[in-house]
A = this chain, B = another copy of it.
């Protein structure tokens, strides 16, 4: 067999390394060809059958190499149009400004940016089964202009699930289905501003996009202090509301201290303020029982916000709010009929929840992510003993504490390695009230299984 492989029809010589086996060699050579631009975006690759015949190797080997590269985002496969080089097989720039996880259509070759679960693990077969049941049983009128709160089937399923899994006290009537967390936050910003609220305090660490959404609604977003007990809500004063991630601070990864949990609810009762509880990854806890939702302490003063973006996939655009009775009507009116969410996805998620498929999927994902977390901790301990892995009791990301001054050069080195990676500075409030720290925020759930080992290796290479 020749050491240089020609791809018929695209006139390209591949020089794969044979050391790691045929599949890996072919995958690597194709990846390099795409990365370097030798295979241009849109180029159609030969069928696995014909390439295998030309190379004298098993068709399966080629098919697997293609599948790996599709999973990594270098290639795309569509029935009828074959396998092609992806249009945007480029590594996104990591930097200031809007969060790259939101800008990226095709994923980078290797990304450890948090916010997206392993998309290759989306439970396609189970989802289709649930969709079939939903389509078979939905009443005709479900296909019409619906209730702005969302389908009753889904609100009922969510109320039951959230009570069971997160300790949320919810009547289906208090549940509002949204197109994800940001949509919910935008609605709440509108409602709070209309009530005369001028300030929604936020945490010293969080997503710039969330602060921007609140500011666009005309709300000030001052930062609360952060320390080893979590966010200190002591200075809240007369703020109208506070946005918190109590179960798993994003991105620091700590659970809000029980005293602080009680304190913020006391503040809300005393002042009439509201707590917006961002429960973005409450399903994923590894060390013990999940930290229950803050909403359970006072359903009249806490708005509970959840999403299917971490547990299933962001592409579904499905999230939910559990609203205090006093706020429900205004929030539903703010949503209205324009912001409704496709009814089939709603019915499918309802089936997914009630059939137990959601629990099964979360259990299996938790197991896989936990293994990755353990591998990350072990690799860092082994190869970068000066780096301290924190925030790993839960969630889909870890915080790697670095020696002072190391964050910026490490993130820069990652860019050169083709590794999308965020430093902690990316998540820091512009007026954060906390000691500056050098750290990396590593989303270990982000890569597909096929790219995880490579991502971890690339990370270890850039650590000090």
> CB within 8 Å of B: which residues of A?
70-71, 73, 76-79, 86-87, 101-102, 104-107, 115-116, 119-120, 122, 124, 127-128, 131-133, 135-137, 139-147, 152-153, 179-180, 182-183, 186, 213, 313-318, 337-345, 448
Contacts and interface: CB of A to CB of B under 8 A. Distances in A.
Q: Which of A136, A139, A345 has the most CB of B within 10 A?
A: A139
A144 B107 contact: yes
Given A104-B145, A144-B104, A313-B144, A179 B340 contact: yes
Contact of A145 (B76, B86, B136, B315): B315
B342 A152 contact: no
Contact of A136 (B79, B102, B143): B79
Contacts of A70: 139-140
B79 A137 contact: yes
A140 B152 contact: no
A104 B147 CA distance: 8
Nearest to A107: B141
A450 to B, nearest CB: 10
A182 B77 contact: no
Contacts of A73: 139-141
Contact of A186 (B128, B139, B338, B342): B338
B143 A337 contact: no
Contact of A315 (B143, B317, B448): B143
Contacts of A136: 79, 124
**Chain multiplicity (copies):** 2
Contacts of A142: 119, 315
26 contacts: A71-B140, A73-B140, A77-B137, A102-B145, A105-B141, A105-B147, A107-B140, A107-B141, A107-B144, A119-B140, A119-B143, A124-B135, A128-B132, A131-B131, A144-B313, A145-B314, A145-B315, A179-B179, A179-B338, A179-B342, A182-B337, A183-B339, A315-B344, A341-B342, A342-B342, A344-B345
A182 B340 CA distance: 11
Contacts of A145: 101-102, 104, 115-116, 314-315
Nearest to A185: B338
Kindly list the 6 A-B residue pairs having the minimum CB-CB distance in the complex, ordered from nearest.
A315-B343, A143-B313, A143-B315, A119-B140, A119-B143, A182-B338
B339 A143 contact: no
Nearest to A313: B143
A178 to B, nearest CB: 10
B338 A133 contact: no
Given A70-B139, A315-B343, 19 more contacts: A70-B140, A78-B137, A78-B153, A79-B137, A87-B152, A105-B144, A105-B146, A107-B140, A116-B144, A145-B315, A179-B179, A179-B339, A180-B338, A182-B338, A183-B338, A183-B339, A316-B343, A316-B344, A317-B342
A71 to B, nearest CB: 5
A238 to B, nearest CB: 29
A315 B136 CA distance: 16
A182 B336 CA distance: 11
Contacts of A316: 143, 342-344
A123 B95 CA distance: 46
A131 B132 CA distance: 9
B343 A144 contact: no
Determine which residue in A73, A105, A142 has the highest number of CB atoms from chain B within 10 A of its CB, and name it.
A105
A416 to B, nearest CB: 23
Nearest to A338: B182
B342 A315 contact: yes
Nearest to A128: B135
Contacts of A101: 145
